[in-house]
Amino acid sequence: MFTLTWQPPYDWLWMLKFLGDRAVAGIETVTPTDYTRSFACQGHRGLIHVTPQPNGTLEVALSDGLLPIADLCLARITRLFDLHCDPQQIEQTLGSLGAARPGLRLPGSMDTWEQGVRAILGQLVSVAMAAKLTAKLVALCGEPLAEAPEYRCFPTPDAVTQADPLALKALGMPLKRAESLIHLAQSVVAGDFPTEAPDDIDSAIKALQTRPGIGRWTANYFALRGWQAKDVFLADDYLIKQRFAGMTPAQIRRYAERWQPWRSYALLHIWYTDGWTPSVDGEVAGIE
């Protein structure tokens, strides 16, 4: 058993619901009290089980197959749950915007390749549909986990490069999206896809948009989750445009500059604060 820590406050109910809404069958099991998933990296594979404790710690259990890469697993778990976040520092920048949910954290990812796949499959569909589509891909291309056959490992880039685009299309996606997945897999295999957050996030997001099937929203959302970039704002997001009614994406981006360098957290708070609106005088307004 391993133990990780975080700085309070931490809204674990919100985090586990966020992950649970996006849980992929065969990969993850999420309850209001814990999180379990398969994980494979560097030739090792196994199960991860995490349980938040009321004393400010996160208990982590790794199956035997992952013990040789325990440090890597703990680093990825830290990224997934944003355990290094300093909520007081962010509160100073967000002000009243973050007051309703001071324990909100930025959900990251265990694997950037996996998050890239999820971002592409999440285009123009609901959260639930994206999870179902990803589960179909896992069932098609993922290998069962020997120690827990009810789980599979997320498909490797190599497996997806060998997939028939028409077989992927048959899962319920447009052919162009299937081809985008294969192109992403080829990039990961070739080593030209950034698996860690680059120094220049803005330039990296622009570079992502030159790839087939990756537009502005997908590139920004991937940066938000896959690289856990702290200063990304999705001005083109449907809900954000609703919150900023009457403003163009350019105007929204200018408005959001007040929350630098924590615009990713501002984005989450706006998404999850019902009735939030920007005020005319430049101060934020929150309505529960």
- Signed CA dihedral, 29, 48, 10, 78: sign only: negative
236-253: average pLDDT: 93
pLDDT above 90 coverage of the chain, percent: 89
First vs last C-alpha separation in the chain: 40
Report which of 168, 186, 145 is spatially closest to residue 38, judged by C-alpha positions.
145
The angle at the Cα of 151, spanning 222 to 1, to the nearest 5 degrees, equals: 85
Position 42 pLDDT exceeds 60: yes
Report which of 124, 112, 135 is spatially closest to residue 213, judged by C-alpha positions.
124
In a domain, 210, yes or no: yes
In a domain, 215, yes or no: yes
pTM of the model: 0.93
Same domain as 133, residue 31: no
| Predicted pLDDT of residue 54 | 87
33-37: average pLDDT: 97
H or E segment and range at residue 279 = none
* Average of per-residue pLDDT values in the chain: 93
Q: Which of 11, 237, 274, 281 is catalytic?
A: 237
Same domain as 248, residue 276: yes
In a domain, 233, yes or no: no
- Cβ atoms within 10 Å, residue 179: 16
Is 237 among the residues known to form the active site?
yes
| Predicted pLDDT of residue 275 | 86
Q: What's at 145, amino acid-wise?
A: L
Domain of 40: which CATH number? 3.30.310.20
H or E segment and range at residue 118 = helix 112-121
Which domain range does residue 280 map to?
Answer: 238-285
Position 192 pLDDT exceeds 50: yes
| Predicted pLDDT of residue 280 | 64
Same domain as 116, residue 50: no
Q: Number of folded domains in the chain?
A: 3
pLDDT above 70 coverage of the chain, percent: 97
| pLDDT tens by residue, 101-132 | 999 999 999 999 999 999 999 998 999 999 99
| pLDDT tens by residue, 135-152 | 999 999 999 999 999 999
| pLDDT tens by residue, 45-64 | 999 999 999 888 999 999 99
Task: For the chain, list the strands marked E by DSSP.
Answer: 2-5, 28-30, 35-41, 44-53, 57-62, 144-145, 148-152, 277-278, 284-285
Residues 237/282/102/199 CA torsion (nearest 10 deg) = 60
Report which of 142, 107, 114 is spatially closest to residue 20, judged by C-alpha positions.
107
| Predicted pLDDT of residue 113 | 96
| Predicted pLDDT of residue 287 | 35
